[in-house]
């Protein structure tokens, strides 16, 4: 009888501990791994700008200006004695190959054009 009482008491205590530990787990759940927020900044290359080329002349202020008038037919990049000229507003100007900066939209006169040798 003593063993039955002892086993019953032991079973009741173990059962009570199991229930108590279940309640304890509900109040203090196991810790979950810390979730980190990672911010990534993506830098992409911009599309390459197309380089605009044309013809230009240097104005009285020293700025390169795009020339849109009719081009002389006897101009070349081969260096000869005389530079190719055009008349703009009654003033004779030397003609250049010019490029436009796509960022600043400013023309630059880079290479003078010369008259072809016949």
Expressed as residue numbers, the domain containing 59 is 52-115
Per the structure, the count of domains in the chain is: 1
Residue 58 domain flag: yes
77 falls within a domain:
yes
Give a yes or no: residue 61 inside a domain.
Answer: yes
Q: Is residue 23 in some structural domain?
A: no
Note whether residue 25 is domain-resident.
no
pTM: 0.55
Beta strands 75-76 and 64-66, pairing class: unpaired
For 69, the token pair is 């008038």
Q: Where are the beta strands (DSSP E) in 1-118?
A: 52-58, 64-66, 75-76, 85-88, 91-94, 96-100, 107-112, 114-115
- 14 part of a folded domain: no
Which stretches of the chain are DSSP H helices?
A: 2-27
Q: What is the pLDDT of residues 85-101, one digit of tens each?
A: 999 999 999 999 999 98
Reported as a single tens digit per residue, the pLDDT across 8-32 is: 655 665 566 666 566 555 555 556 6
In a domain, 75, yes or no: yes
């Amino acid at each position: 009888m003593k063993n039955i009482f002892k086993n019953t008491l032991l079973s009741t205590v173990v059962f009570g501990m199991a229930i108590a530990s279940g309640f304890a787990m509900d109040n203090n759940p196991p810790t979950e791994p810390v979730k980190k927020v990672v911010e990534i900044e993506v830098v992409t290359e911009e599309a390459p700008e197309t380089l605009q080329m044309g013809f230009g002349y240097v104005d009285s202020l020293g700025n390169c200006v795009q020339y849109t008038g009719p081009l002389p037919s006897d101009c070349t990049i081969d260096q000869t004695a005389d530079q190719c000229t055009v008349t703009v507003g009654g003033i004779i100007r030397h003609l250049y190959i010019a490029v436009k900066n796509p960022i600043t939209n400013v023309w630059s006169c880079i290479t003078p054009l010369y008259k072809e040798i016949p």
